[in-house]
């Protein structure tokens, strides 16, 4: 009898201990702190698909909204109401960044505190993503950055929750139209090594008083180890050149890039260009850069001959693309 009673007591104590352990475990699982940690570790945009986005709208505190839209495989940025080429690479980086956002902390769910985090209804910093039909996929109000941390406070439109994000979005909010623009003059597969002929004509007067009067043509002689040679002026024909210096010029032309697009039809001086740089490639593709008048103190209007877009380019790029022949002579 005593043995049976002892066994029963052991069984009861075991059940009590098991119950306490289960209660403790459940307490850990469902405690407010751990529930919030699990919620906070979630992706901000679960199920978000970057390929579904056809329009990006970024509004900042500086005023105005940048609009970038997908057109087939290309992206366009709206400037003064007209579409210009946008950087598909940067649009892709941005969408990947959005897809990777996580909520690191739930800060508040009280609408009365929105303004203190910069995410109230009056907040101007917003990111909106839409599909091709115009349906909103994401509408995010972006607030202040937490002091000492790299994340931004944010609130999804329609939600009361103020969240601390896993990274800052200030780079995108502060980005200019130029950041989103694809400002390369020529196709991405063009390289300086493919350029076989360069002709430069220039009549420039820089602000420092230095004139630049140029008229020369150079060719890369494939029968002479791809060495560069002077074709004109005739008086300099056959002059030895620094091949590395001419290669740098060829690379500059292949990678030619503007500072920004110019919308509309301003007086650009391109009807009588100050400089023309013509170059040809080994597969017989010809390209011509036209440099027009000055804009401000350190920029020039420029375009590709026959191209659709007008650019502003910095003075230093004009100087680099119009190297005097003397600076490329063999030392």
> 56 near 177, Cβ under 8 Å?
no
Q: CA-to-CA distance for 249 and 218, rounded, in angstroms?
A: 11
SS3 244: helix
**What local confidence, expressed as pLDDT, does residue 7 receive?**
53
323 vs 61 pLDDT, higher one? 323
Residue 143 pLDDT exceeds 80: yes
SS3 83: strand
Residue 205 pLDDT exceeds 80: yes
Residue 64 tokens read as: 């105005």
Q: CA-to-CA distance for 201 and 204, rounded, in angstroms?
A: 10
Residue 331 pLDDT exceeds 80: no
Could you tell me the CA-to-CA distances from 235 to 149, 179, 276, 323 in Å, in that order? 65, 46, 21, 18
> 65 near 56, Cβ under 8 Å?
no
Residues 6+ apart with CB under 8 A from 102: 41, 42, 43, 44, 165, 166
Mind listing the pLDDT tens digit for each residue in 9-23?
545 555 555 555 544
Beta strand 311-314 with 299-304: parallel, antiparallel or unpaired? Answer: antiparallel
Q: What angle do CA 147, 153, 159 make, to 5 degrees?
A: 160
Q: Of all residues in the chain, what percent carry a pLDDT higher than 90? A: 73
Cβ atoms within 10 Å of 172's Cβ, excluding its own: 21
pLDDT confidence bin for 146, thresholds 50/70/90: confident
> 86 near 75, Cβ under 8 Å?
yes
SS3 243: helix
- Using the 8-state DSSP alphabet, how is residue 102 labeled? B
Q: Domains in the chain, please, with CATH?
A: 50-180 (no CATH), 192-328 (2.60.40)
Mind listing the pLDDT tens digit for each residue in 284-298?
999 999 999 999 889
Mind listing the pLDDT tens digit for each residue in 263-276?
999 999 999 999 99
Tokens 């375009």 -> residue? 303
**What local confidence, expressed as pLDDT, does residue 180 receive?**
96
Region of 269 please: left (phi>0), alpha (psi -120 to 50) or beta.
left
Let me know if 222 is exposed, middle or buried by CB neighbors in 10 A (0-12, 13-18, 19+): exposed
């Amino acid at each position: 009898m005593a043995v049976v009673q002892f066994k029963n007591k052991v069984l009861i104590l075991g059940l009590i201990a098991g119950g306490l352990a289960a209660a403790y475990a459940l307490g850990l699982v469902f405690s407010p702190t751990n529930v919030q940690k699990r919620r906070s570790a979630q992706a901000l945009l679960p199920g978000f698909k970057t390929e579904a986005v056809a329009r990006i709208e970024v509004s900042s505190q500086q005023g105005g909204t940048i609009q970038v839209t997908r057109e087939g495989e290309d992206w366009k940025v709206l400037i003064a109401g007209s579409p210009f080429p946008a950087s598909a690479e940067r649009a892709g980086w941005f969408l990947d960044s959005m897809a990777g956002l996580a909520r690191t902390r739930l800060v508040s769910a009280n609408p009365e505190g929105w303004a203190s985090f910069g995410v109230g209804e009056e907040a101007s910093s917003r990111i909106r993503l839409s599909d091709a039909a115009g349906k909103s996929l994401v509408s995010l109000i972006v607030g202040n950055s937490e002091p000492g941390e790299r994340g931004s406070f944010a609130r999804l439109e329609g939600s009361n929750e103020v969240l601390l994000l896993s990274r800052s979005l200030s780079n995108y909010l502060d980005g200019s139209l130029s950041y989103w623009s694809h400002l390369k003059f020529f196709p991405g597969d063009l390289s300086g090594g493919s350029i076989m002929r360069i002709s430069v004509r220039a009549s420039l007067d820089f602000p420092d008083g230095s004139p630049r009067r140029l008229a020369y043509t150079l060719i890369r002689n494939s029968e002479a180890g791809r060495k560069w040679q002077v074709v004109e002026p005739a008086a300099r024909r056959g002059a030895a050149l620094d091949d590395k210096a001419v290669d740098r010029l060829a690379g500059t032309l292949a990678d030619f890039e503007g500072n920004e697009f110019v919308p509309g039809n301003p007086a650009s001086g391109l009807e009588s260009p100050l400089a023309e740089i013509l170059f040809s490639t080994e597969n017989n593709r010809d390209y011509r850069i036209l440099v027009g008048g000055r804009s401000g103190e350190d920029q020039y209007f420029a375009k590709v001959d026959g191209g659709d877009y007008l650019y502003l380019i910095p003075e230093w790029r004009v100087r680099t693309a119009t190297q005097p022949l003397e600076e490329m002579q063999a030392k």
